[in-house]
Structure 1
Amino acid sequence: MSPNHGSMATRRSITALAGAFALAFANQYLFYGHVFGVAYSIFMLLLYAYVFHDRRDRWREANGFGLFLFVVVMLLSFTYALFDNPAFQALDFLAVPTLFFLHIAYARGAGRAAWWDVRLIEDALKHFVARSLRHVPTAFRIMKLSTSRKNGLSNNKTALKVAVGLALSLPLLLVIVSLLASADGVFEKALSSVPSWWSNLPVGETFGRLVWIFVAGILFFCYFWGFVKPGHRKMATVPEAGADDEEQRAVGLRIDPIIMMTLLVSVNIVYVLFVVLQFTYLFGAWQGELPDGKTYAEYARSGFLELVAVTLINFALLMLALTALGEMTTARLRRAISSLLYVLVGCSGVMLYSAYSRLILYEDMYGYTYIRFLVHAFMIYLAIMLIIAAVRIRTSAIPLVKCYIVVSLIAYVFVNYVGMDRIIAEKNIERYRESGKIDPAYLLELSADAVPTLAKFAKNEYPNLKPNLDLKRQTLSYKERGWQSFNWARHAAMKELDQLLDK
């Protein structure tokens, strides 16, 4: 290795470590003592900038799926600044880091797995744990190297050491002096000539922030350096392939076509019988014709979860069968299984519609809630998946696994942004207008996203809701107000409530 190359590598490692600690400083400033808000999306942008600061000219993710996944991650991170739904905030707390790690593993991973390949998860986990941990000693070696490497001039070397020593000693001195002042009154009195802020430093917070910065800086560096120096590469880049080969590798399961056809015939016989019976009263419920003399509530509840479960089982069968379809050796066998799959998709569609109609009926009777909304969304999602599967049966040119991944990510982002709380409030208000029934206590449980709709409703139609909204305002007023935690939904809600209740 040439001296020039070694010097460049050293500078690169020191830059990476310095960037990691700068990112850690930003991280504690944005999050220490604050709830998630606009700072979350700011940090994600800083994190992306750090991870790719050495690859500005070679971003594999700058096109195609990499760019798409970047947009998904950022849109989900912005929900903390735009919306206030606690359920989605909890889900996004898991989803954003997970998608970020998968994205970076795809863009920079040692395995170079295709984005639809299940091995990408394995590669992401290796980078997150194994390849990161192996570089913990590296971080400390670079710290030592930054103070001991020769720069050609002894004065520069000495100045560098002094600067590093001052940087390390200053925060330590702040903690030590504050601790001594708290422990000894005489010492504290001796410091009386020092500005008051010195002796009143919050020791616990200062120490906590320093530990936060140190630990986070090491972790950020180790994660980044695991991509720069990943060690041995055991996974080769997956070559381009047709849809059939691609799905067989992704699913990883094999089943004989004849066995598959027998299985499909058996389940389809049962499904067809079910659908025939279902049609005898599927549409009759809307005209008051219920089966077996059941009440609306009994009809709506009966079999809903079972129908959804069966639909999920059918998806598993579809994936297995489409894998078998790619292994067909005769056109006759392919046509036979394709026909059986169309029957399976059709029956699944009828079951899904039946479950959907029961859910709508139940909501008309008992109102709209988080769970019922999410089930609605999930069933629409399943219907789209069925349509994709039906097209895939017709032509093998459709990459089923890729379509499912992309549609799933789009669906999750969409349901984050559609405004679930606002829709639930609007639907319950519509129900009130039609039936006169409403549950004010449940409306109070909705997040700040629904408050503008509820405030308008209380002002124009239901003044009895104002005491509930006053309680809601008190709850929102307790939220932390630092700019890092700014949330548009909470801001808009407080503005609406102040206008409504302070008149």
Structure 2
Amino acid sequence: MHDKMSRTSLPKTSFWAAFIAAIVLALVHQYLFFGHGLGVSMPIFVIVFYAYMYAFNRDRTPPSSWIGRLLFVIIIMLALTYVLFNNPILYVLNALAIPALISVHMVLLFGEKKHDWSEPGMIGQALSHWFYHNMRHIVTPFRMFKRAAFPNVQDERKRVLGKVAIGLLIALPLLFIIVSLLASADGMFEALLSGIPAWIGTWSFGSGTLRLMWICFFTFCFFCYLWGFVHPAPRDTEQEVQPRNPYYEPIAIKFDPVITATVLIVMNLVYVVFVVLQFGYLFGAWQGALPEGISYAEYARRGFGELVMVTGINFVLMISVLKWTEAGSGILQKMNSGLLYVLVGCSGVMLYSGYTRLVMYEEAYGYTYTRYLVHAFMIFLGLLLLIAAVRIHIRQLPLAKYYMVLVLVAYVVVNYVGVDVRIAENNLERYRTTSVIDKEYLSGLSADAIPLLIEFSRKEHGAMDELLQGRLRSLTREEKAWPAFNWATYRAQQELQDYILK
């Protein structure tokens, strides 16, 4: 333990370098994000943040691993979506996903490696660096300032002077804010300050003060986060060597294979009957072979959510059986595997039935964000079922790792597939066959879809010109600062100007 702590200890010069770098990083963060929308600023800051973390953790960086490289590529690709696309829903989701993935990646690169990357403990370790390790190092800068300012003062006087210095550091920004607020709120108080240099009376709680607070706050955030990796909390070695208390031993969940087989047989009987009845309607619905008394629209809408829910329940059941069922005799194990294959097959048919119902519903009522994302989720659930089917045959397959990689890759694909463009394309294709179109909804799609709508309006003799003029006015009013630059918005504005103004 001592050797490890001494290895991770850095000299005072490294502390000052790290703190100054945190100030610079906070200045960059303030310049890129304060008062600006997200755009090219996102990938720039992600790269600068990685450079900051790597500069002070080079000696803790392990050999490169495939999951580390994959995470970095995914993080950069998600950051680039703020430059390439203009989808507001994914903007919000990515604003949550990028910090979460960076936190896990930082632990993978510079953490103490308490857990494998596919274990849930990695999430807890990442969260501990956000909260516990950060909180531990809030006082570190004040302590180092005190040592630098009073190196030769006696201990008692040093403690008192240090506390006074800390109090002043806390009071000064508060005093600045309070005085500026009072001076702005009350003319008499402002007049009272007339004896003080005139510039104090002109203080206002404006952009400059907010920027200063922003820089101070994020300086401490960045420094404390970095220092949590440089000086992690020492482990409680005494607690580690203590014998386990038998009363608190974790309970191993195991299902008896006979019970598992019984549950699977009962459920599969119901599913097989349901699937047999579905086949007639499933493959004949487009030719009019619908249940008696059910219209086309009713069939498309009815039971879709229930089918997807049942498929999800089957998936959870399958994973539970694969993970927690005890190994039985050869015959019993083969029977359970066969029953699981039947469950996968029935689930696949139900998923396909729900998928076709959704396609029919979209053909009748149009394409929207929600319906498109449900499509994506159903395809994703189908891939999960396929991997689970492979796991039935290959018992050693690390299911959690495959699922985590699939989740990350699928999320990036959803970002890059161009949701708004696909929605616009499908609705315009539906218009060609039905002559029905919701212009108001299409005009509300993000800037990604504007080129398609311009092309449609040009071919349809200005069918959407009025709505496109409104979009041009709104785009013209948007911020033009370079940190908020977005290629999709820029391209849409240029094409709208070429189409409407010329």
Point out the more displaced range, 45-54 or 482-491. 45-54
The alignment-based identity, stated in percent, is: 46
* From 44, 50, 55, the counterpart of 1:42: 44
Q: Distance in 1 between matches of 2:279 and 2:359?
A: 18
The answer for the alignment partner of 2:165 in structure 1 is none
The answer for the alignment partner of 1:307 in structure 2 is 307
TM-aligned CA deviation for residue 42 of structure 1: 0.9
TM-aligned CA deviation for residue 176 of structure 1: 11
- For the pair 1:431 / 2:433, whether they are aligned, the reply is no
| TM-score normalised according to structure 2 size | 0.85
The answer for the alignment partner of 2:406 in structure 1 is 407
One-letter amino acid of the counterpart of residue 37, structure 1: G
One-letter amino acid of the counterpart of residue 441, structure 1: E
* From 208, 215, 222, the counterpart of 2:217: 215
- For the pair 1:489 / 2:488, whether they are aligned, the reply is yes
SS at match of 2:282: coil
Q: Distance in 2 between matches of 1:294 and 1:145?
A: 81
The answer for the alignment partner of 1:76 in structure 2 is 78
Cα distance change, pair 172–282 in 1 and its aligned pair in 2 (3 A)? closer
Q: Distance in 1 between matches of 2:497 and 2:391?
A: 54
The answer for the alignment partner of 2:160 in structure 1 is none
- For the pair 1:317 / 2:313, whether they are aligned, the reply is no
Cα distance change, pair 30–392 in 1 and its aligned pair in 2 (3 A)? same
The answer for the alignment partner of 2:23 in structure 1 is 21
| TM-score normalised according to structure 1 size | 0.85
One-letter amino acid of the counterpart of residue 388, structure 2: A
Query: Deviation string for 1:392-437 (max 9, x for gaps)?
Result: 1111232211110001100000100110001100111101111111
Cα distance change, pair 309–172 in 1 and its aligned pair in 2 (3 A)? closer
Determine if contact 1:181/1:187 at 8 Å carries over to the other structure. Answer: no
The answer for the alignment partner of 1:227 in structure 2 is 229
One-letter amino acid of the counterpart of residue 500, structure 2: L
The answer for the alignment partner of 1:137 in structure 2 is 139
Q: Distance in 2 between matches of 1:464 and 1:188?
A: 68
One-letter amino acid of the counterpart of residue 292, structure 2: D
- For the pair 1:122 / 2:124, whether they are aligned, the reply is yes
* Mapping of residues 457-472 of structure 1, within 5 Å: 457-472=456-471
RMSD: 3.2
Cα distance change, pair 332–6 in 1 and its aligned pair in 2 (3 A)? closer
TM-aligned CA deviation for residue 8 of structure 1: 4.8
One-letter amino acid of the counterpart of residue 73, structure 2: V
TM-aligned CA deviation for residue 360 of structure 1: 0.6
One-letter amino acid of the counterpart of residue 232, structure 1: P
The answer for the alignment partner of 2:334 in structure 1 is 335
Alignment length, in residue pairs?
465
The answer for the alignment partner of 2:91 in structure 1 is 89
Q: Distance in 2 between matches of 1:412 and 1:253?
A: 32
TM-aligned CA deviation for residue 367 of structure 1: 0.8
Determine if contact 1:180/1:188 at 8 Å carries over to the other structure. Answer: no
* From 108, 111, 117, the counterpart of 1:109: 111
TM-aligned CA deviation for residue 253 of structure 1: 4.9
Unpaired stretches in structure 1, ≥5 consecutive residues: 151-167, 193-197, 236-250
Q: Distance in 1 between matches of 2:382 and 2:7?
A: 57
Q: Distance in 2 between matches of 1:61 and 1:303?
A: 51
* Mapping of residues 92-491 of structure 1, within 5 Å: 92-148=94-150, 183=190, 204-233=206-235, 253-324=253-324, 327-491=326-490
TM-aligned CA deviation for residue 109 of structure 1: 2.4
Determine if contact 1:181/1:188 at 8 Å carries over to the other structure. Answer: no
Cα distance change, pair 141–487 in 1 and its aligned pair in 2 (3 A)? same
Determine if contact 1:76/1:92 at 8 Å carries over to the other structure. Answer: yes
One-letter amino acid of the counterpart of residue 464, structure 1: A
Q: Distance in 1 between matches of 2:347 and 2:120?
A: 27
Q: Distance in 2 between matches of 1:93 and 1:206?
A: 26
The answer for the alignment partner of 1:238 in structure 2 is none
Q: Distance in 2 between matches of 1:127 and 1:268?
A: 46
Q: Distance in 2 between matches of 1:25 and 1:444?
A: 38
TM-aligned CA deviation for residue 191 of structure 1: 7.2
Cα distance change, pair 433–136 in 1 and its aligned pair in 2 (3 A)? same
Q: Distance in 2 between matches of 1:146 and 1:351?
A: 70
Q: Distance in 2 between matches of 1:122 and 1:45?
A: 25
